[in-house]
Amino acid sequence: MDALWYAFSRNRPAVAGLAGLIAMVLLAVFAALLAPADPTAMGGSSLQPPSWLHLMGTDDLGRDTLSRFLFGARVSLTVGALAAATSCTIGICVGATAGYFGGWIDQSLMRGAEFMEVIPRFFLAILIVAMFGTSVFIIIGVIGFLSWPQIARLTRGEFLTLREREYVVAARAIGVGSGPLIFSEILPNAAPPLIVMATLQVSTAILLEAGLSFLGLGDPTRPTWGLMLNNAQPFIRSAWWMAFFPGAGIFLTVAALNLVGDGLSDVLNPRLRGL
Amino acid sequence: MTAPNATLPVFIARRITVAVPMIVAVITINFLLIHLAPGDPTTVFFGDFVPSQAQVQELSHRLGLDRPLYVQYFTYLATLLRGDLGFSYVAQTPVLSLIFGRVGATALLMLSSLALFTTLGVTLGSLVARRPYSPADNVNAVLSLIGYSIPVFWLGQIALLVFSLQLGVLPTQGMVDVRAGYVGWAHVRDVALHLVLPVTVLGMRYLAINSRLMRASMIEALGQDYVVAARAKGLREATVQFHAFRNAIIPVVTILGTNIGELLSGSVLIEIVFGWPGLGRLMYDAIFSRDYPVLMGLFVFISVGVVIANLVTDIAYGALDPRVRRT
């Protein structure tokens, strides 16, 4: 662990990414303490440029942009993390089953994954959210359910090689069942590349959620960065601050996650170093 | 032991047998959604439109709602496979003709971006691969990170702000200058000028993806034995680079199909920022009026497009590299 941290800490961009990510999480966690105003309170003067009173200005309904930005961080990060957790759970289960059992089970599961990868998932997400409602739980579920194939493919690949390893063969020989074999023998050894992929799943989930919200398919009761950008679109020429700050929030968070992912991948997969 | 390579026609036939079930599966998803959605299936078709009693009955009869579910399924499947994507009650127009009215604008935007930025990405990637970790390579790495991480519609909004307010050299809204009413070459020039910003904004992500992929694959190719052998033979550096390039470009070809699906999602978002009159605008309006037939029609139409694009790239890949025809 110390050796891993040492290797990671030598990678300056990755450390910067981690610092940025931690900062963003702290802003989200303490949003209620840091926000100068209620993010939904209207009635202030509308479309005010940034000033000492409103550091990020106000929107068309007189709401404080900074407060909405902070609470938006909360929703965007939570949606990203939970959607990635959903897709990783599904992907690991599917991939482990396919890779461990092989044969026709593998064939049919991977055919399903191939199908899910080819269909344009953004458009399916739009259709489902438009039909079933824009609640935040539906959005998390939809993004999670549409993003598992990559994880499944990676898990399967790891399992295909790991199941032939001597320690697995030995464990099977002394009568360890399939369940324990999958979860306590093989999965921990397949973890490093999965951790890297999971980081990237969070960043793509955040981008997907932002895209949906930008199309008006966000939860209207909770400000998210994507929803703020949707609100900003009609005022783009007169009120730049309405679009600038939430977009910068998405960009910085996703960039931080990608830097951390790249850094982890260098540390955990020395084979891939230099690529 | 490896199976012998299939001949190209066999390979093509096999890829088509994979593509057709995908289209059927997409239609099946639509059918499931219609029946799982809250309310009666007819509410899905009418959306916000308030139908008359006669219209409800006519639609229920056409969907076969009084018949068993499997009959309804095959009726629906047959209708869609005939190319009938349904009727938009909100717009009072068949969905397919709504789509045909818009698809040209989206295709122009998307294909210009794909062609331009795939070429640029491949060129950039193979250039920086010659000297990994040089200053030029590091600049490219930073730009790639930005391209990967920036939400495409936000980049569009920023470009719009800068160009419409500060510079004023490029048009930022729509596809043509309606007031000028250009014809002939002046019209082509007008559309080309309107294309510059959306195409560039849309392409940044693919510039990043392609240059990163090309860089990695070119570095790998330049380390292969045949490159060492070619250098040892005293071939000119340009010839050696070309040998490596031909092998390194294969992974870029394989992800072209996937890129097309993602580019379409990007176009939809970009069209809203720049007021581009394509499928994205159609979709945005359909979301607001809860015009589900249009949303379902778009999903089927775009899925078929992506499946065909993947089929074409698979076949191209199989034609370029006989080894992939093995499985």
User: Per residue in A176-187, pLDDT tens?
Assistant: 888 888 888 888
Provide the 10 A C-beta neighbour count for residue B275: 14
Q: Are strands B87-88 and B93-94 parallel, antiparallel or unpaired?
A: antiparallel
In chain B, residues with a C-beta closer than 8 Å to the C-beta of A260 are none
Distance between CA B211 and CA B86 in Å, rounded? 41
Cβ atoms of B224 and A83 within 8 Å: the answer is: no
User: What pLDDT does B4 receive?
Assistant: 64
CA distances to B227, B241, B247, B253, B254 from B320, in Å: 20, 19, 10, 10, 11
Helices (H) and strands (E) in chain B, counts: 14, 2
Residue B117 backbone phi and psi in degrees, to 5: -85, -20
Grade residue A273 by pLDDT with cuts at 50, 70 and 90: very low
Token pair belonging to A172: 């099977």
Grade residue B150 by pLDDT with cuts at 50, 70 and 90: very high
- Report the range of poorest mean pLDDT among A121-130, A253-262, B165-174, B289-298: B165-174
Is the model's pLDDT at A91 over the cut of 90?
Answer: yes
Contact A275 B216 (CB under 8 A): yes
Q: Which residue has the higher pLDDT, A213 or A8?
A: A213
3-state helix, strand, coil in chain A (%, to 5): 75, 0, 25
Grade residue A275 by pLDDT with cuts at 50, 70 and 90: very low
Contact A127 B146 (CB under 8 A): no
CA B62, chain centre distance (Å):
33
Across residues A104-109, what is the average pLDDT?
93
Contact A216 B284 (CB under 8 A): yes
Residue A251 backbone phi and psi in degrees, to 5: -60, -50
* Shortest distance, CA B184 to any CA of chain A (angstroms): 32
Is the model's pLDDT at B300 over the cut of 90?
Answer: yes
Across residues A47-64, what is the average pLDDT?
78
Is the model's pLDDT at B1 over the cut of 50?
Answer: no
* Shortest distance, CA A149 to any CA of chain B (angstroms): 13
ipTM of the complex: 0.89
- Looking at mean pLDDT, say which of A46-60, B59-73, B244-258 comes out highest: B244-258
Minimum Cα–Cα distance from A244: chain B residue = B158
- Report the range of poorest mean pLDDT among A47-51, A137-141, B301-305: A47-51
* Shortest distance, CA A253 to any CA of chain B (angstroms): 8
CA distances to B148, B225, B281 from B306, in Å: 22, 37, 19
- Mean pLDDT for chain A? 88
